[in-house]
Amino acid sequence: MQQHVFVSPDIKSSQFKKIKKVIQNAEMRIDSFYSGKKSKPDIIICSNPEQYQKYCNSTEGAGCSLGTPWESSFIILNMQDLDVNVASHEMSHTELLKRLGWWKVTMQVPQWFNEGLALMLDKRFVNNPDKVGQYFDYMDEWLYYTRGGQEILELESISSVKGFFNGNQQYVMLAYMTSGLEVSYWLILAGNNGLLKLISQINQGDSFTVSYKKVERMTKFKRLKQLPVNPLRLPDPDKN
Per-residue pLDDT tens digits for 59-95:
888 899 999 999 899 999 999 999 999 999 999 999 9
Query: If you average pLDDT over residues 215-220, what whole number do you get?
Result: 78
Nearest one of 206, 210, 219, 215 to 100, comparing CA atoms: 206
**What is the separation, in whole angstroms, between the first and last Cα of the chain?**
58
> Would you state the pLDDT for residue 240?
42
Per-residue pLDDT tens digits for 141-173:
999 999 999 999 999 999 999 999 999 999 999
> Would you state the pLDDT for residue 218?
78
Task: Please check the confidence at residue 223 and state whether its pLDDT lies above 90.
Answer: no
Per-residue pLDDT tens digits for 97-108:
999 999 999 999
What percentage of the chain has pLDDT greater than the value 70?
92
Which helix (H) or strand (E) covers residue 7, if one does? strand 5-7
- Mean pLDDT, all residues of the chain: 92
Model-level pTM? 0.93
Q: Interior CA angle at 135 toward 132 and 137, to 5°?
A: 110
